[in-house]
Amino acid sequence: MSTPRFLDLPPGVAPQKIETPQGTFAALEALPVSGVVERWPALLVPGLTGSKEDFIAVLMTLAQSGRRVVAVDLRGQYETPGPDDPAAYTCAALGADVDVLSQVIGGGDPVHLVGHSFGGLVAREAVIDGRTKFASFTLMSSGPAAIEGRRARNGRKILEEVPALGLEHVWQTRFEPEALANDVSDEIREFLRRRLLNNSPTGLTSMAEQVLTMRDRTDELRQIELPTLVLFGEHDDGWPPEAQSEMAARLGAESVVVPGAVHSPAVEAPETTAAALVTFWNAAEKHYLDVRSSAM
């Protein structure tokens, strides 16, 4: 579970509702505190038990690069409602949501797409399906196929316990003890409880099944001509760092290892993570403009 270290919104960041043809999505929108929006926007997609708040620590810095930056709750997550139909929570279905969100946020401009953990698998579907022209794609702590190790065991517990025992039981027996062991403050712990209980139980279990069974689509992603970044913590306990490095090599993608970070670089090393994203986004835009100029 990605755990924000603070909840107060930085300057230039505000809650929003993003209206799309596929429904309304809860979001945090960041705009430059000084200067103007002059670069292409970015969309940030959270992981399985996460939410838009996982990106709070990087939003202001990212926006100060001259961009509108939007972090969302996926369908069925926290403040975005979702149906009781498991089919609504496949990676393909959620990827279609990412498509329409990107089209609305971009307003005609390409969007820089970032997917964290399970959100990377979802965002990958949107890139591969070809419905949307993206400016770049970043896989943040997200691997080529099903998640591994301790986080895979946690996913299987969600799959087993949520339908049988409910979200409150999962909070009391799994997530709350973890938060207490990590000395999480009362304010953040209450937020984590509220966030978990607001999830769609159907959505959470369906997403858990997806992250545990996802097939490797690296070769398909490689066929998409799109600047791609693989960014992960040096101690990632979801997908092994070696697996993510190998995936980057297969993609011919840039790779950034965030020192000291585990599975949530945007929380654990926000300045390093934001700097890497801005550098990558600026280079992707320059490459796009250079290619377009040479073709004229």
Asked whether the beta carbons of 219 and 247 are under 8 A apart, the reply is no
What does each of the 296 residues of the chain score in pLDDT, given as a tens digit? 789 999 999 999 999 999 999 999 999 999 999 988 999 999 999 999 999 999 999 999 999 999 999 999 999 999 999 999 999 999 999 999 999 999 999 999 999 999 999 999 999 999 999 999 999 999 999 999 999 988 999 899 999 999 999 999 999 999 999 999 999 999 999 999 999 999 999 999 999 999 999 999 999 999 999 999 999 999 999 999 999 999 999 999 999 999 999 999 999 999 999 999 999 999 999 988 777 666 65
SS (H, E, C) the chain: CCCCCCCCCCCCEEEEEEEECCEEEEEEEECCCCCCCCCCCEEEECCCCCCHHHHHHHHHHHHCCCCCEEEECCCCCCCCCCCCCHHHHCHHHHHHHHHHHHHHHHCCCCEEEEEECHHHHHHHHHHHHCCCCEEEEEEECCCCCCCCHHHHHHHHHHHHHHHHHCHHHHHHHHHHHHHHHCCCCHHHHHHHHHHHHHCCHHHHHHHHHHHHHCCCCHHHHHCCCCCEEEEEECCCCCCCHHHHHHHHHHHCCEEEEECCCCCCHHHHCHHHHHHHHHHHHHHHHHHHHHHHHHHC
**Cα 40-23-105 angle, rounded to 5 deg:** 5
Burial of 157 (0-12, 13-18, 19+ CB in 10 A): middle
Q: Look at residue 295 in the predicted model and tell me its pLDDT.
A: 67
pLDDT of residue 149: 87
At 213 the pLDDT is 96
Length of the chain measured in residues: 296
CA distance 245 to 30: 30
For residues 189 and 98, the answer to whether their CB atoms sit within 8 Å is no
Residue closest to 99 by CA, chosen among 170, 203, 21, 193: 21
Task: Note the pTM of the prediction, 2 decimals.
Answer: 0.96
- Given a contact cutoff of 8 angstroms between Cβ atoms, the answer to whether 156 and 212 are in contact is yes
User: Residue 282, Cβ neighbours under 10 Å: how many?
Assistant: 13
